[in-house]
Structure 1
Amino acid sequence: MNSFVHKTLVVQLLAPGTGRCPVLAHLGYDADDPFAVTAVFAHDGHVLACWRLDREMLCAGLDGPVGIGDVRLRPADTGLWQELRMEFLGDARPDGSRHRAVVFVWAPAIAAFLRETHLLVPPGREHVPVDELLADILSAG
């Protein structure tokens, strides 16, 4: 059985002064890391950013606003499309502000990706081998 889900989507990056521009989002899910979704954003073969997202938070963001830290998600209805608005806050700039990126994703595509992850590891059935992890950490010392 395959323990990975991967989907590549064209998303819209909100670029200051120019509006939206298309970039690729490579979403990945590994059943061995059942709480996380990896999102790699790329354009012209160059990785722009890589984020590890909480799968449950991604699900919740389709229905309402979530996140108070570096990642904030909320549904966005543009009239024609149901979108997920993803806001990412990055490193500090020299002026004290922070880098910020806003990405819009077609919500049904995210929902379909999440359904595939739920087939691998249903919500509530996630397992992390904490005892084995602690034993590895303690034996390394």
Structure 2
Amino acid sequence: MSTVIEQPVEARLVAAAPRMPNIPATLRYDRSDPFAVRMTFPAQATLEGVEVCWTFARELLAAGLHDAEGHGDVRVRPYGFDRTVLEFHAPEGTAVVHLHSEDVRRFLAATGELVPLGLEHLQLDLDHDLAELMRDAR
């Protein structure tokens, strides 16, 4: 069984212009980092012309399907029945994208099959991580 789930999604960038462009993005989940989800935007979809990757809690993404969630750099909320809004806050500004909620649900279902929500801690090897931390402290 694979330890990584990647799902391409189509994000709609909310901008000041009347037409909201669709941009490709990828949602990624890795069992070795069980609490996190990554959303990556390719270079051609960013203002800087470099790939941008945001990391945030899988729990935040799941909760944001139903209610407005998040107080930091990443915020998630439902928008109508079929859209989910993600806001990415950085010193350079804020990017707001809409995703199809069904794509988010499908992604979360796949991650839940790999590591059920609430059981992420079972994927961690705390003895190994502590040994690495102690080794690095020397």
Q: Could you say whether these structures have the same fold, taking a TM-score greater than 0.5 normalized by the shorter chain as the test? A: yes
Which deviations, in whole Å up to 9, do the C-alpha atoms of 1:22-71 show, x marking residues without a partner?
Answer: 11111111111111111001263754521002001100000110001111
Shift of 1:132: 1.7
Matches within 5 A, 1:1-141: 1-42=1-42, 44=44, 47-77=50-80, 82-91=82-91, 93=92, 99-127=93-121, 128-140=124-136, 141=138
Q: Structure 1 stretches of 5 or more lacking a match?
A: 94-98
- C-alpha contact 1:76 1:85 (8 A) present in aligned 2: yes
Greater CA drift, 52-61 or 125-134: 125-134
The percent identity for this pair of structures is 35
Alignment partner of 1:44: what SS?
A: helix
SS in 2 for 1:17: coil
TM-score by length of 1: 0.86
What 5-or-longer segments of structure 2 have no aligned partner?
A: none
Indicate the RMSD between aligned Cα atoms, in angstroms. 1.7
Moved over 6 A (4+): none
Conserved in 1, the CA contact under 8 Å of 2:87 and 2:95? Answer: yes
Aligned twin of 1:96: none
More strand by share: 1
The whole-number CA distance in structure 2 between the counterparts of 1:66 and 1:114 is: 16
CA–CA distance in structure 2, aligned partners of residues 117 and 14 of structure 1: 27
Higher helix share: 2
Query: Equivalent residue of 1:16, what SS?
Result: coil
Instruction: With the length of structure 2 as denominator, give the TM-score of the two structures.
Output: 0.88
Q: Which secondary structure state, in structure 1, belongs to the residue aligned with residue 78 of structure 2?
A: strand
